[in-house]
Amino acid sequence: MEKRKAVISVSDKAGVTEFSKELHNLGWEIISSRGTAKAISEAGIPVTDVAKITGIPPILKHKLVTINPKISGGLLSDTTPEDLADLAEYGIPWLDMVVVDLYHLEEEIKKPGSNLKSVIEQIDIGGVLLLRAAAKGMRITIPQRADYQLILDWLKAGEPERDKFLRSQAAKTFFITAKYDLAAARYLGEGMYDGMIGRKVADCAYGENKYQKPAAVFTTDTGDPLSIPDTFKLVQGMAPSFNNYVDMDRLLQTLTHIVTTFVTNRGRNSIPYIAIAVKHGNACGAAVGWSTGLVLQKMIIGDLDAIFGGLVVTNFGIGEEEAEILLHWNLREGETRRNLDGLIAPRFAPGVAELLKRKGDKCRLLENDWLWHLRHKDGDLDTSLRFRQIRGGFLKQPNYSFILDLRDPELVYIGTMDTQTDTLMLVTSIADTSNSNTITLGRKEDDISYLIANAVSQQSRVAACKLAKLRAQMGNHDTKDSVGRSDSFFPQDDGPKELAEMGVKAILTTSGSINDEKVLAMFKRYGVKVLMIPDAKGRGFFGH
């Protein structure tokens, strides 16, 4: 019986000799060229040079090696008499497997100093052809080193569910080549072409509503240590829902903005304990300070109604003391425990999962140790592009990246900020990651800065101001001497009057209204301190 044949051509040689040896021991013939053939041969494994099959040595400075009908034909042919006759007539061998990793195109694009010539040099043609031909021909495709053991185990097990397995590998192969082609199109097109491509990691029970089925979460394999589909480990509870994933994304936006703002203004050793609760995509409770217990307590009282069924994130571990506060501190009348939809933390102490467990496993506990290590210059602020679907297409924009720098030369101070800068940094981070229009208010007590009102998604600035007052009143919060953030300028002085009469002590807003002088006059009349930055730089619209 003729040996099965595998074409192996990889730039990353790690593991290839071990894989080739196993393949050889299973009775396979290995076909390769140049560097890969040398590595395999030096390991004492027989290898056939691809030129022996094609009859043509590598040409065009090794650009043309495997692009040949005797290789492509051996992958695309099927078992029909016509195809088999063509193989026999032209001396084309039947090929059973392709092992290829593509040139490092995306890495080259990201390299400082890369240019058109260096990028084009890394656009793989032969590798893509081999993979696509093998996938179309339903051969065994190995498009990444991570699949070596998977394929060996499958071969040794007798190739169970062969058709299904080959189809799965073919789909993975086309996914990888599609990502590769998209990277080339993006670079060469200079903004003309773009898209998003992902790999499913989990199904969701449904989408935003129960009738929206099927729904799933996909990863784009960025390697980000805060990648939601990849790096958060579920330690208890049912799988996150579609809406949980959306809220997690918002929590991470708010958390990393808080961290980055503190690092920008105070340095890396200044990052306090942080706790944030989110409901329907917007922070309903948040606090920063140097006591985990007090931070949790102040976060909870942000909005006792909204936190019910909410999702919480912390940058500190959760032990029994913290769990007890989350469950039982300052309960509403008639409650025996506080029901949360989920809690995200760097880790949970032994026994805590059982304490927080809800009937039906409805409280999800998710761990990610990286939450301990959030630091601005390490890339924790999300700088990836943001896409938004519209009917018939999509929108693309840079991510939300405005960070309040209290030393910014364009930041104008009307009055002097003194003890409330921590609170200002907190409310600015929250407002800038909440649905606009937004007015956000905070206070400082017991050395803890915390949220007292997040008036989001209003269609007028004055309505947001009135809502901020209402939300603070509903939470029994004293607005006297509070600090606020308006995510854009005030078009009239009616909103400022509302805030001033609440007792707001200081506010960050933007300049750009034709009524800026009128607005400032209103704040000055009530003794409100104002920080103002140009709207083009500091506008905080989010999720508009």
Q: Alpha helix locations (H) across 390-491?
A: 421-431, 461-474
Which amino acid, residue 152? Answer: L
Q: Are the beta carbons of 8 and 16 closer than 8 angstroms? A: yes
CA contacts within 13 A on the Cβ side of 19: 29
Burial class (CB in 10 A: 0-12, 13-18, 19+), 63: exposed
Torsion over CA: 467, 470, 474, 476 (sign): positive
Please state, in angstroms and as integers, the Cα–Cα distance from residue 297 to each residue in 276, 325, 328, 356, 531, following that order: 11, 7, 10, 16, 29
Active site residue 280: yes
210 labelled catalytic: no
Q: How far apart are CA 490 and CA 508, in angstroms?
A: 11
At a CB cut-off of 8 Å and minimum separation 6, what does 172 contact? 141, 143, 147
Number of Cβ within a 10 Å radius of residue 355: 16
Q: How far apart are the first and last CA of the chain?
A: 66
Strand residues in 282-374 grouped as ranges (E): 282-289, 311-314, 342-345, 364-367
Active-site option among 104, 280, 357, 362: 280
Of the listed 136, 357, 518, 524, which one is catalytic? 136
Helix (H), strand (E) at residue 294: helix 292-300
Antiparallel, parallel or unpaired: β 273-279 and 282-289? antiparallel
Kindly list the catalytic residues. 136, 280
